[in-house]
Amino acid sequence: MAISKKMEQAINDQINAEFYSAYLYLAMACQADDMQLKGLASWFNVQYQEEVAHAMGFVNYLQERGGRVVLQAIEQPRVEWPDAVAMFEQTCEHEAYVTSRINDLAALAVEEKDFAATQFLNWYVKEQVEEEATAADILGELRLAKDAPGAMLFLLRELGTRTFVAPVIG
Residue ranges that bind ligand FEO, judged by CB under 6 A: 18, 21, 51, 54, 95, 98, 131
User: By C-beta, is 25 or 114 nearer to ligand FEO?
Assistant: 25
Cβ 85 to ligand FEO, closest distance in Å? 19
Identify the DSSP state of 82.
S
User: By C-beta, is 21 or 31 nearer to ligand FEO?
Assistant: 21
Cβ 156 to ligand FEO, closest distance in Å? 20
CA distances from 15 to 61, 113, 133, 134 (A): 11, 22, 23, 22
Cβ 96 to ligand FEO, closest distance in Å? 10
User: By C-beta, is 8 or 18 nearer to ligand FEO?
Assistant: 18
Other C-beta atoms lying within 10 Å of the C-beta of residue 156: 21
Cβ 53 to ligand FEO, closest distance in Å? 8
User: By C-beta, is 21 or 42 nearer to ligand FEO?
Assistant: 21
Strand ranges in the chain using DSSP code E only, listed in sequence order: none
CA distances from 80 to 17, 22, 64, 132 (A): 20, 15, 38, 22
Which one, of 16, 26, 77, 46, lies nearest residue 163 by Cα?
A: 46
Give the nearest residue (CB) to ligand FEO: 54
Other C-beta atoms lying within 10 Å of the C-beta of residue 57: 21
